[in-house]
Structure 1
Amino acid sequence: MGPVPSAVLQLLALTAALGLTYRPLGDYMAGVYRSTKHWRVERWLYRCVGADPDTGMRWPAYLRGVLAFSLVGVVFLYLMQRLQGVLPGSPGFASVSPALAFNTAASFVANTNWQAYAGEQTMGHLVQTGGLAVQNFVSAAVGMAVAIALVRGFAPSHARLRSRGGTPVRTGELGNFWADLVRGTVRILLPLALVGAVLLAATGVIQNVAGVHDVGQFIGGPQQWDGGAVASQEAIKELGTNGGGYFNANSAHPFENPNGLSNLLEIFLILVIPSALTRTFGTMVGSVRQGYAVLGAMAAIWLGFTALTLWTEFHHGGPAFDLAGASMEGKETRFGVGGSSLFSTATTLTSTGAVNSFHSSFTGLGGGLTLLGMMLGEVAPGGVGSGLYGMLVLAVIAVFVAGLMVGRTPEYLGKKIGSREMKFAAVYLLVTPTLVLVLTALSVALATPRDSVLNTAATAVSGSHAHGFSEILYAFTSGANNNGSAFAGLDADTDWYDTTLGLAMLLGRFVPMVFVLALAGSLAEQRPVPETAGTLRTHKPLFATLLVGTTVLVTGLTYFPALALGPLAEGLAS
């Protein structure tokens, strides 16, 4: 079988698996977040943090819970790394430097999992499993909680009333952050990760606590390999759209991703929760057709990017390409172009960042597609939680644009989209482009001999001209959008990049959440508007098409000049 038919079969198998799990998983998650009962282990966890899970929270209180919990996570993970040299379960590894420890703590708490270090040479078993793996769970659960809070803002059945001066008013409560966090972790992520770990181990992914050992002489000297609890961390790495690899080679390492079957399973784990959350959304707002419309927009973007990436990477450009059958530079032969292209599309259209190939070695246009996928806001289907709330914010923008076209007040799911809601949505969209473009410009501007003491791009970029610019642009796009993948030609373990990328990851994660929760609170306070003949039917294919157009155009207008300087220039010149 040729490489192209093989890629098509993999795509069909992946689509079928996602289709089979879409409804049961989506309805199950809706039931989890609607439940009023608490499991015994959950009650114990609530007592540990001193939280009352039955207390409703308005958006400022919900936001304070998100920020306080995440701040504790950053401090705890930072201290674990700084004290690694004296902690048990650290087979001879020294403590992590302050700048790298900050960068890594910010990365894993922000659900980015950007790694400026080699995992098997830097982090011991305790930090890997007790620090990084724990954040893989809870950072994903935080994203899911924020998405559910926004869904409750739209859902008329969730609204609670309170008497004020004898007149009932809407409280604007969005649920309880601590209950959403614990349930998302205990009832959704843990069971699915357990199943995923068993399946990955069955395909050959290792799971042990072995230390570093010599495996013999190879070209250039002796080779040492490290063991670890890889299957369990790999499962939540993909399932929580985290992306941090146990080993430096990430999902290209044979211990993390040994064969084509494990590769397809990992892609499935990346996509399954973000896709099913659209069903959760439709169920909770009382119209599953609304969920199908959002899913349709996500699927159209994902399939379009997948097809374009496959085309660019299968495109033959000379005798070497003809002999290899496609552009094989930087790709593992056990996955081929098809498995590598599918993985790269899945990981950059979600906030995962796991890689099974060298994105820097993709064709100019292929690398540009991985960049553009992140620049879209990773909404197809996006990260766990972040993909859904990102697409719903874009849906608000699309509804507003449609309202301007017909000259009536825009409405979405029975809620009016006024100036207040549009301000929240607009600022949300501006946060990550501002971080990406400003920090990229600063890094390029400081790349001069007189500034080399700052360890900036002057000595850190392996490429030159358009490709070197793309490496810097990719790094900050990945960080600010909480992806975590890299072109990998950039030496990111410098004080400059450790600090600026750490700040980009934290600001890119939590500042947008402020406006998402503010939007949710504003919507929750509204009285539902009855549907009329002039109401835009947001469950129809026409709206899904409008949503796709809004997503692509907003991103294109924002990032096109930067893309023209990097991957477009490189692709057109090749």
Structure 2
Amino acid sequence: MWCRHSGPTLQPATYDEPVTDATGQPVLDANGQPETQKSTRREQLLAVGPAASQIIIKQLGTNGGGFFNVNSAHPFENPTPLSNFLEMLAILLIPAALCYTFGVMVKDTRQGWAILAAMTLIFVPLLALSVGSEQAGNPAFAKADLDVAANELQSGGNMEGKEVRFGIVNSGLWATATTAASNGSVNSMHDSYTPLGGLAPMWLMQLGEVVYGGVGSGLYGMLVFAIVAVFVAGLMVGRTPEYLGKKIEAYEMKMAALVVLIPPMLVLVGTAAAVLSPSALASLQDKGAHGFSEILYAYSSMGNNNGSAFAGYNANIPFVNTTGGLAMLFSRFWLAVPMLAIAGSLARKKLVPPGAGTLPTHTPLFVVLLAGTVILVGALTFIPALALGPIVEHLQMLAMK
């Protein structure tokens, strides 16, 4: 699908090149210094191919695999801020539109708008957290008298790992969109984000990628949380919970619990196993809290079908290939079984007319209840692990250690 194209450079480049012997070792002069020779480069080798036709597929289908190794940070894959906006729009377009489709299918579009509103209610604060943390930058820069304020010459903040043609806002928006929507494509290096800037995309994956989510998978994931939310509300008012006129009973809750618990189990068990594995620890670029964050991010990505990474963790070793492959296998297929079981059970039930104790599932109250359920489950499950990674790292950064 791709090829190499050789062509003349716009301007010949002259540089000092080390002299090597037959074994590839540098040749030293009488003073023990490496010998160099002048070299002029008049041609450059470019990787080219039908990138545009592949990019729209990876974005609309929430696949995320880049045509080039650096994904959508590559200028041939994402050359301008306009292309960047269109690619981000493509990530969220179908998952968001499926909420309205759901409303049409159940003959009450208000239900779809409520689901979409709950997703957005979670997405916007986490987007603000990521962008705000990146724009604030590292306090160590201020201590070193470095100017990190935004002005007409620079974006300011933490620009490490980001393309200057996109800046912090477009990079942070992409990071949150790609992890919210089970996409995994990137236009910046997530491993270079500040601790809280990287926590936001990591947590969006850990929530089960139900905030917009993948094409289809995000919607059914959020519907499971809707079932949990109406069940909790039913317990509070002392009525049998109902959703869209169907009673939610013990069987549906057991299946919903499986959907909610399987991905976190895979993420946390995989992370714990990696922390105990000498080969996994040896493949870490960084130690301490950030190293733990790299491992946690990797298994959060693999266990939730995302694909992005804190690339400081080398995943191409037998241990990670095995455990990560199992996490991807189980998280994709084990979730389908309880989801189909819920669908079959509800399809067999008769519609129950709404009564005085029925909780309306299209109101702002339910939107807040649904968003709160997602956040509460995510917090109870992952805050202890996040406290060992990005939260500790953030406190260390504030202390400038």
TM-score (norm. length: structure 1): 0.61
Please identify runs of 4+ aligned residues in structure 1 that moved more than 3 A: 209-224
Q: Could you report, residue by residue, the CA deviation over 1:2-50 in whole angstroms, capped at 9, with x for unpaired residues?
A: xxxxxxxxxxxxxxxxxxxxxxxxxxxxxxxxxxxxxxxxxxxxxxxxx
Q: Where does 1:177-326 land on structure 2 (aligned, <5 Å)? A: 210-211=3-4, 213=6, 224-316=45-137, 317=139, 318=142, 319-322=146-149, 324=154, 325-326=156-157
Partner of 2:374: 551
CA displacement, residues 466-517 of structure 1 (integer Å, 9 cap, x when unaligned):
0001101100100110010001111111112122212211111111111111
User: Matched residues in 2 for 1:328 and 1:274: separation?
Assistant: 30
Q: Does 1:398 align with 2:229?
A: yes
1:215–1:225: 8 Å Cα contact kept in structure 2?
Answer: no
Q: Map 1:471-486; keep pairs closer than 5 Å.
A: 471-486=294-309
In structure 2, relative to structure 1, the CA distance for the partners of 1:553 and 1:244 (3 Å cut) is same
The counterpart of 1:515, out of the listed 329, 335, 338, is 338
Greater helix content? 1
Give, in angstroms, the shift of residue 320 of structure 1.
4.6
Change (3 A) 1:320 1:364: farther
Relative contact order higher in (CA < 8 Å, ≥ 6 apart): 1
TM-superposition CA deviations, 1:67-104 (whole Å, max 9, x none)? xxxxxxxxxxxxxxxxxxxxxxxxxxxxxxxxxxxxxx
Q: Which residue of 2 aligns with 1:419?
A: 250
Which aligned pairs between 1:355-366 and structure 2 lie closer than 5 A? 355-366=186-197
Please state whether the residue corresponding to 1:322 is helix, strand or coil.
Answer: coil
- Output the amino acid matched with 2:192: S
Contact 2:4 2:45 in 1 (8 A): no
Q: 1:494 to 1:300 in 2, by over 3 A?
A: same
1:542 counterpart = 2:369: no
SS in 1 for 2:199: helix
Change in 2 beyond 3 A, CA 1:523/1:326: same
What residue number does 1:328 align with?
Answer: 159
Unpaired runs of 5+ residues, structure 2, are 18-38
For 1:571 and 1:459, the matched residues in 2 are separated by 24
Answer whether contact 1:421 1:522 (CA < 8 A) is retained.
Answer: yes
- Count of residues in Structure 1 that have an aligned counterpart in Structure 2: 359
Superposed CA deviations along residues 260-279 of structure 1, whole A, max 9, x for unmatched, are 01100000000000000000
Q: 1:347 — aligned with what?
A: 178
| 1:495 equivalenced with 2:315 (yes/no) | no
- Give the drift of 1:372: 0.6
Measured after TM superposition, the shift of residue 310 of structure 1 is 1.5
The one-letter code of the counterpart of 1:437 is L
Amino acid at match of 1:322: A
Name 1:23's counterpart in structure 2: none
Q: Which amino acid aligns with 2:230?
A: V
Superposed CA RMSD in Å reads 1.7
DSSP-derived class of the 1:226 partner: strand
Stretches of structure 1 that go unaligned for 5 or more consecutive residues are 1-124, 126-208, 448-455
Name the amino acid aligned to 2:286. Answer: G
Give, in angstroms, the shift of residue 214 of structure 1: 6.6
Q: Whole-Å Cα distance in 1 between the matches of residues 326 and 368 of structure 2?
A: 35
* Alpha-carbon distance in 2 for matches of 1:260, 1:247: 18
Residue 215 of structure 1: how far off its partner (Å): 6.5
Identity %: 55
Question: Which residue in the other structure is 1:76 paired with?
Answer: none
Return the index of the structure with the highest Cα Rg: 2
TM-score by length of 2: 0.86
